[in-house]
Amino acid sequence: MTLLKYAWHAARVVSRSSPQTSPSRRDRRRQETITDIKAAARTQLAEGGPTGISLRAIARDLGMTPSAVHYYFPGREALLDALIVDGWDTLAMALRARYEQTRPLPAHERWIAVTRAHRAWALEHPSEYLLLYGHTGLRVTPSGDRGVQKAMSKVVAVLFTMMRDALAAGEIDAEGLQTATPAHLRQQLADWRETTEEMAGLPDGALVACLIGYAQLHGAITLELVGRIPPQLHPTALFDLQMAHVSGSLNAPPPPW
Confidence band (pLDDT; 50, 70, 90) for 136? low
- Exposure string over 89-103, b if 16+ CB within 10 A, otherwise e: bebbebbbebbeebe
CA distances to 27, 58, 109, 131, 176 from 35, in Å = 12, 12, 37, 18, 49
Per the prediction, the chain carries an average pLDDT of: 87
Q: Supply the pLDDT for residue 8.
A: 42
Q: How confident is the model at residue 143 (pLDDT cuts 50, 70, 90)?
A: low
Note the pLDDT of residue 20: 61
Per-residue pLDDT band for 21 (boundaries 50, 70, 90) equals confident
Note whether 156 and 92 are within 8 A (CB).
no
Amino acid at 150: K
Q: Which is it for the CA torsion 157, 159, 161, 167, positive or negative?
A: negative
Q: What is the pLDDT of residues 90-119, one digit of tens each?
A: 999 999 999 999 999 999 999 999 999 999
pLDDT at residue 252 in the model: 61
Mean pLDDT, range 30-43, rounded to an integer:
96
CA dist 227 and 238 (Å) reads 14
Other Cβ atoms within 10 Å of 245 Cβ, number: 11
Distance CA 257, CA 255 (A): 6
Q: For residue 134, what pLDDT band results from cuts at 50, 70 and 90?
A: confident
pLDDT above 90: residue 251: no
Residue 199's closest CA among 167, 245, 243, 244? 167
DSSP classification of residue 133 = T
Cα(43)–Cα(101) distance, integer angstroms: 32
Predicted local confidence at residue 253, as pLDDT:
60
Task: Indicate whether 161 pLDDT > 90.
Answer: yes
List the Cα angle 234/236/239 in 5-degree steps.
105
Residue 164 has pLDDT above 80, yes or no: yes
For residue range 228-248, list pLDDT tens digits in order: 999 999 999 999 999 999 999
Q: Which spans in the chain are helix H? A: 2-17, 25-48, 55-62, 66-72, 76-101, 107-124, 126-132, 146-168, 174-180, 183-193, 204-225, 235-249
**pLDDT value of position 195:** 86
Q: Inform me whether the pLDDT recorded for 39 exceeds 80.
A: yes
* Residues 132, 151: Cα–Cα separation, whole Å: 11
- Report the distance separating Cα 70 and Cα 252, nearest Å: 54
Residue that wins the pLDDT comparison between 99 and 254? 99
**Looking at residues 65-87, what average pLDDT do you find?**
95
List the domains of the chain with CATH numbers.
28-74 (1.10.10), 77-249 (1.10.357.10)
Task: Check pLDDT > 60 for residue 70.
Answer: yes
